[in-house]
Structure 1
Amino acid sequence: MKTLKLLFLLSCLTLASRAQKIIRSNVDLNEQTIVKDSTGKILPYNYWKEQLASGNYSVRQTITHVKDGRTNKVKKDTTAFVLTWLDEAGRKRLAEYKKSFASQQSETAQEQQATTSNTVLKAEEPYRYVPTRLPRTSEGFVNGEPMEPFKESTIDGKKIDIKALKGKIVVLNFWFINCPACRDEMPELNKVVAEYSADPNIIFVGLSLDKRWEIKDFLKKMPFDFQHIADARYYGDKYKVNLYPTTVVIDKEGIIRFNSVGSDNTGYWIKKTIEDIKAQNM
């Protein structure tokens, strides 16, 4: 009997410990929490909160190594976190954790609803983030210079001819599957594509280093709503693309109006450049 009681107590302690870790990951994160991307840039609260809610991202505490004589201790920073893209297994674990605590969250929501049922709530103002600096530009592209054209087929067999697309705005994104920064910016780029989905004069083309079948498999797990050209290393070399992702916006006259490397607010700058081009053509 004593043995059974002891085993039962140990099980309860184990579950409590696991529950505490899961709950802490939800409770401790707030507007004052510092969350960075993989490059070390601090992200706005509304942005990383939205990425966590999507279920495709998680956060991990930053880890520092502290040297003390002959030892090299590992220390976790409890005030700073890094936004991390989850693979399929990670998303599955996260979904299981959320399901485990659904009943607790439901009870809390019911209590809050009872408290605010007779209160008129104002709609929250949409968050608008305006970058304070321009992103880094690519060595292979010069804003204001003509884009050297190319012809190629997408993974779905559609012909892309930059010269024939004169009169349209073209957005190019050089990327590859195992590029963390490329994956980080995909949700942001998808929003831009969705915003201009009804405009046939804006074309979004991705040039990937990966094989056609690899891209198709990847897109089933991680949507990236550009038209994609596979085996594009030739074009990366042709245009001297040394860093990924690299993004280029070409205006209706075939002139490069914007280019950048990295995932530094790329969606914002693409949209701004498109709107500037459209305004000048009105």
Structure 2
Amino acid sequence: MKTSFLHSFLFLLILCLPAAAQVEFTPSKPLAGQTVRFVYTPKGTPLADELTVQCQAMYYGSPDFMKLSRPKTVTLTRQGATWTGELALPEGAAGVAIAFVGSGHPVKVDNNQSVLYTAMVCDASGKPVPYAFGGLGELFRGHGYLYTVGAETNITHAISSYKQEIEMYPSSKNAYWASILFAYVEQREEGYKEKIRRETDSYVAGKKELTSRELLNLIRLSDLIGDKAKVEFYKQQAIRQEPNGAMAQQQRAIEVQAEKDITKKGSLFLAFEKDFAGSPFTWVQNLAYQMALFYADKNEFSKLKVFVSNFQKYFSDPGELNEIAWKLAEKGQELLFAEELSNKSLVLLKDQKQPENTFLGPGRNWEERKLGPYRMYMDTYAYIVEQQGRIQEAYEAYKEAIDLLPDRSNPEVNERYVLCAIKAGHVDEAKQNGEAFVKVGKGTPKIKEALRELYQKQPGTAGDADAYIAGLEAEYKAKHHEQILKSLVNEPAPAFALTDLNGNKVSLADLKGKIVVVDFWATWCGPCVASFPSMQQAQARFQSNPNVKFLFINTMEGRDESPVLTKKVAEFIQKKQYSFTVPLDFDNKVSSAYRVEGIPTKFVIDQEGSIRYRSIGFDGNPEKTITEIATVIDILSTRPISANK
């Protein structure tokens, strides 16, 4: 049954407008170009006790308007228990969304529980103007502004907003037809693929000619629902329409990336650069970076140096330069050239201005945002000069690379700093900071071993070095154990039956009575791959326990045919020499059933087939990963199941 306009309009206002009296706009239905005044009452919000409050506002409107719109900080005036401010609506704005940010640390935010506080521009009759709802849908679907104010995406709100826009202004369908279909993909309701197929066919049938933007959207949508015939059909249309356009470049770029022969690959790159010289697209720069990594992976270090030197114009991204420098540092090759690249990455980062399309989180500025990359790049530089024997210089660089807040530090950087500080003669400092890292779970086995040696060298120390380390870890381990206990869940684990790389059937039902660790991953996922050495150690710890089973379910791998993907995954596992059981989830049905939104995601399933623990991502701390998995297994092994339920 079709919902009446009035009913759906009121429903969406309930969703999108603020809770009663939290924010009052005057006028409540502003006209285009008017100044909107608002009164904010923070009582009952996270900002109730803040002494200083700022407003972060985002004007929204048509897609073209939103490309240029940026968050605006509004100064507020305190009046007793309320804060007041005003916003002048710029030309083209169809509405404004606002949230409020405190000044304390950590920064507190009131984003109306991610729904935001909004005022829509209206016409003289009080009806919202075109794009008032559609622009709001763009915000809710994942606009960078949400990150700025600590809000989360809301696909349900986005779809409701798009539908309301199209119902109110049918002509706006051209602006939002693709957005709503991409939202359906993200929502993943049953039958969404068929719905998208019908909607795209209907849209195309009503068009005499498709624009390049429409063709690109059709290619992406067809790819997302697995319609390979339509993908190829629309790709060919796009290439015929623009022989030197984005799609033509993408196809040629794929050819360059797929070539494994080093000579042929170089020739293909040169041909690509010649054919698409001066293009506004960035494929050639990305390809140059991929070529450099290819040479590094093939241990062709002299070719890498010549290539980067010859094509310096394509190497202006500090992150890419740091990655290349790190590749050389890891292998101890061309260290002077690596140092040159590392220095360049630091200079470029220092001079880097905030890009227009970059949105910062609550209470953050651009220089703070650059601090993380700066530490990473400085660690690379320190590692390079350390390998050249410049120990004191490396020590000074490592000091800049480490985070002075131990619980936020990177264990690998901590390790390099502590060991280098000892070599540089700063033993007391290394010991003090090493102990601080271990106390918060940011130490490593090498840091602990170094501390053991220092402990044993102390005059009059006859005690047990292992007991000394255990004492440092005791408080953290106790807290960590308690956190894991609190984080245990109890949800039915969706059943699955998959085939692994050896052609064996792997069924959850067949594993009932065992504790099952499930790790969802893909070969292209950097954090997944980075976590594997620690997962290998975790698996080895329980290899003699017949009641524990590890499964590394490969998912989200790509859209090639199954034999191609199987070969790709098998080659990866073989090259890394992992002794994993790898079930293959190429249609992503199992990861969807487990509501996996990002990888790696790990689950621990108990003996009765219930999910008891989940972990998303990898923070770079191998020991933490091993400890978490082992602790959950130990808890489930030693406690009666009923006690955990």
The bucket for the TM-score relative to the shorter chain is 0.5 to 0.7
Q: Which amino acid aligns with 2:631?
A: K
Q: Which residue of 2 aligns with 1:206?
A: 552
Partners of 1:194 and 1:234 in 2: how far apart? Answer: 29
Residues 205 and 229 of structure 1 are in contact (CA less than 8 Å); yes or no, is this contact kept in structure 2? yes
Q: Identity of aligned pairs, percent?
A: 24
- The reply to whether residue 267 of structure 1 matches residue 621 of structure 2 is no
Question: In structure 2, which of residues 572, 575, 580 is the aligned counterpart of residue 221 of structure 1?
Answer: 575
Query: 1:35 Cα shift?
Result: 5.1
Residues 175 and 182 of structure 1 are in contact (CA less than 8 Å); yes or no, is this contact kept in structure 2? yes
Alpha-carbon spacing, 1:21–1:271, altered in 2? closer, same or farther (3 Å) = closer
Alpha-carbon spacing, 1:163–1:35, altered in 2? closer, same or farther (3 Å) = farther
Alpha-carbon spacing, 1:180–1:130, altered in 2? closer, same or farther (3 Å) = farther
Q: Which residue of 1 aligns with 2:411?
A: 44
Query: 1:161 Cα shift?
Result: 1.2
Residues 144 and 255 of structure 1 are in contact (CA less than 8 Å); yes or no, is this contact kept in structure 2? yes
Query: 1:147 Cα shift?
Result: 0.6
Partners of 1:207 and 1:224 in 2: how far apart? Answer: 14
Alpha-carbon spacing, 1:223–1:279, altered in 2? closer, same or farther (3 Å) = same
Alpha-carbon spacing, 1:29–1:217, altered in 2? closer, same or farther (3 Å) = farther
- The reply to whether residue 175 of structure 1 matches residue 521 of structure 2 is yes
Alpha-carbon spacing, 1:215–1:121, altered in 2? closer, same or farther (3 Å) = farther
Alpha-carbon spacing, 1:181–1:212, altered in 2? closer, same or farther (3 Å) = same
Question: In structure 1, which of residues 237, 242, 249 is the aligned counterpart of residue 592 of structure 2?
Answer: 237
Partners of 1:222 and 1:132 in 2: how far apart? Answer: 34
Partners of 2:478 and 2:568 in 1: how far apart? Answer: 34
Q: Secondary structure at 1:228's aligned position in 2?
A: coil
* Greater Cα radius of gyration, structure 1 or 2: 2
Alpha-carbon spacing, 1:195–1:21, altered in 2? closer, same or farther (3 Å) = closer
Give TM-score scaled by structure 2 length.
0.26
Query: 1:270 Cα shift?
Result: 1.1
Q: Secondary structure at 2:503's aligned position in 1?
A: coil
Alpha-carbon spacing, 1:240–1:33, altered in 2? closer, same or farther (3 Å) = same
Alpha-carbon spacing, 1:167–1:47, altered in 2? closer, same or farther (3 Å) = farther
Partners of 1:270 and 1:276 in 2: how far apart? Answer: 10
Residues 212 and 231 of structure 1 are in contact (CA less than 8 Å); yes or no, is this contact kept in structure 2? no
Query: 1:206 Cα shift?
Result: 0.9
Q: Secondary structure at 1:227's aligned position in 2?
A: coil
Q: Secondary structure at 2:544's aligned position in 1?
A: coil
Partners of 2:390 and 2:569 in 1: how far apart? Answer: 33
Whichever structure has more helix as a proportion of its residues is 2
Partners of 1:182 and 1:25 in 2: how far apart? Answer: 34
Q: Which residue of 1 aligns with 2:504?
A: 158
Query: 1:23 Cα shift?
Result: 2.4
Query: 1:149 Cα shift?
Result: 1.1
Q: Secondary structure at 1:257's aligned position in 2?
A: strand
Residues 402 and 414 of structure 2 are in contact (CA less than 8 Å); yes or no, is this contact kept in structure 1? no
Partners of 2:568 and 2:517 in 1: how far apart? Answer: 22
Give TM-score scaled by structure 1 length.
0.56
Q: Which residue of 1 aligns with 2:637?
A: 278
Alpha-carbon spacing, 1:45–1:217, altered in 2? closer, same or farther (3 Å) = closer
Query: 1:281 Cα shift?
Result: 4.1
Alpha-carbon spacing, 1:200–1:46, altered in 2? closer, same or farther (3 Å) = farther
Query: 1:152 Cα shift?
Result: 1.2
Partners of 1:248 and 1:182 in 2: how far apart? Answer: 14
Q: Which residue of 1 aligns with 2:610?
A: 255
Query: 1:207 Cα shift?
Result: 1.1
Alpha-carbon spacing, 1:177–1:280, altered in 2? closer, same or farther (3 Å) = same
Partners of 1:167 and 1:249 in 2: how far apart? Answer: 13
Report the aligned-residue RMSD: 4.0
Asked which structure has the greater RCO (Cα within 8 Å, sep 6+), the reply is 1
Partners of 2:630 and 2:613 in 1: how far apart? Answer: 11
Q: Which amino acid aligns with 1:157?
A: G
